Structure 1
């Protein structure tokens, strides 16, 4: 993280210290909304203030009654041009909320509307620790440590410099498995994904953005805790599932769902977060880094499907091709 990025985060932290923070809103669309999810999860759990993720247009039309000058609103758009998110940022600011925009383009409409900006260098090929994941983790855990100081979060922040290495090591170790998954599932028209806790948003992103948007494969993101309340009736020997078994408090939910699915389906692919390589990281910090690593790992599963189906991830029917 360079000096510019450190200064951007420090400005946010100074602003937070100068206000009475009562709640958080995380607002975005699609993959950007999903990427915000772990922040909501950890802020809610570690700080103890109300927090919620909204899709941008719903945030505007619902106009939450608790949105005011004591609110922190974090919005995100990769390009910074998503119209709904730009308007959501403008709306939040009109209500007096502290607004933080995350984007790769400082000159974008989103960044122009926000009071504070967190910029990442994905566009120019910077490494992961200086990219979107590293910047977001730095923002979130600096906020958490400012509002609820703990030596554990000091250690999280000190370990962020290892994030690039963590991603690289785990992408290499799961590459063959991911591409084998693509080979075995290249003719599947439907693949369910399942997860819980801080990992559910990764399942949602994999489902909506990679399988449905980019690969045109039918899917649904199933919360492991909700699996037994309807979705498990779809389980059969030839129904494929990709199951993220997480690290942390919600792991028992994943294990229960996995045990059932494996009894009745012959096509359950397991991505076990505990099997990832954390490079001797302290055990009590692993759950904070798992969601970041799993995002990079799941992208390889999509790459494997793209390779074996012959369907490039860049192909679209409607997106960017018409007004909608």
Structure 2
């Protein structure tokens, strides 16, 4: 079985080179923002594949040393610059156990690229400032890897539908930017004054909530935050809800939407609507995106739109998003 011609050539080359009949377990491994894409990747894999999979922080992956990691394992790693030491170490550790490795990175000559068996490139606007088509993003590449694996290991072949959906993703993002713009203008002045902003989501959206909390609000804005799973919200975190507390809630289209809806109802019951920013995927135009993949592509739409919202907050706070960082990539740690 072959993959669609529209698939990224790098993904096609890598999957063609692997001994997929030998794969018995898939590990998704990374740190920080790159780790955030592993959560929806596993969600998609769980929905369509019969193989077991796990998501790990790269350093813990090495420290924990799963006994199931062996020559029948496939380890998918990601680092935007390819210089994340923990992820490179995880790749080396995986290969020492005989596992097959794929590294996603923007830099083909990076340490991660040298440490893995196969490299898949992608583009990202967040640190370069250069606009891209979302079909070339890390989300797109890892989804192609996931559904390619499903198809080539005997599962349902949805690769044509996936790639058609990914080609329709950028127009959906552009439309979402316009749809959410008035809401962002309304909420930015209030949330810019907050010292704490929580993010809430579940399922495929959880990675986007996690990344926005730790990489944008905390790293780039110095705003205290925590990504709260929409159901874990009811097992402790909901006790902080009051009329002043700020939340960003993502309501997606995957099978876990009822969990997010329950959190939404509680937040508006005991919190204040003016401090609860809700991104609802049901309000978006997702024309051209297969309904079977809408739940999985929505997180990228949410994250891309929230990135612009973050810059609005930064301007109001007179805070530079990347340049103001005190420690990240500036000192040894």
Calculate the TM-score normalised by the size of structure 1: 0.93
Q: Which residue of 1 aligns with 2:278?
A: 270
| 1:311 aligned onto 2:326 | no
Shift of 1:300: 2.1
Q: Which residue of 1 aligns with 2:96?
A: 94
Q: Which residue of 1 aligns with 2:201?
A: 195
Cα gap change, 1:72/1:40 in structure 2, threshold over 3 Å: closer, same or farther? same
Cα gap change, 1:121/1:241 in structure 2, threshold over 3 Å: closer, same or farther? closer
| 1:120 aligned onto 2:122 | yes
| 1:82 aligned onto 2:65 | no
Shift of 1:225: 0.8
SS in 2 for 1:65: coil
Cα gap change, 1:131/1:284 in structure 2, threshold over 3 Å: closer, same or farther? closer
Please, which of 12, 28, 31 is the counterpart of residue 26 of structure 1? Answer: 28
SS in 2 for 1:220: strand
State how many pairs are aligned.
Answer: 323
Shift of 1:189: 0.3
Distance 2:137 2:256 in 1: 28
Shift of 1:157: 2.1
Would the aligned equivalents of 1:46 and 1:148 in 2 still touch at CA under 8 Å?
no
Shift of 1:16: 4.2
* Residues 299-308 or 239-248, more deviating: 299-308
The unaligned stretches of length 5 or more in structure 2 are none
Would the aligned equivalents of 1:128 and 1:164 in 2 still touch at CA under 8 Å?
yes
Q: Which residue of 1 aligns with 2:292?
A: 284
Map residues 106-117 of structure 1 onto 2, 5 A cutoff: 106-117=108-119
The unaligned stretches of length 5 or more in structure 1 are none
Shift of 1:176: 3.1
Would the aligned equivalents of 2:25 and 2:52 in 1 still touch at CA under 8 Å?
yes
Distance 2:310 2:147 in 1: 29
Would the aligned equivalents of 1:152 and 1:285 in 2 still touch at CA under 8 Å?
no
Please, which of 258, 261, 266 is the counterpart of residue 260 of structure 1? Answer: 266
Distance 2:179 2:199 in 1: 21
**Superposition misfits of 4+ residues, deviation over 6 angstroms:** none
Shift of 1:37: 1.6
Calculate the TM-score normalised by the size of structure 2: 0.91
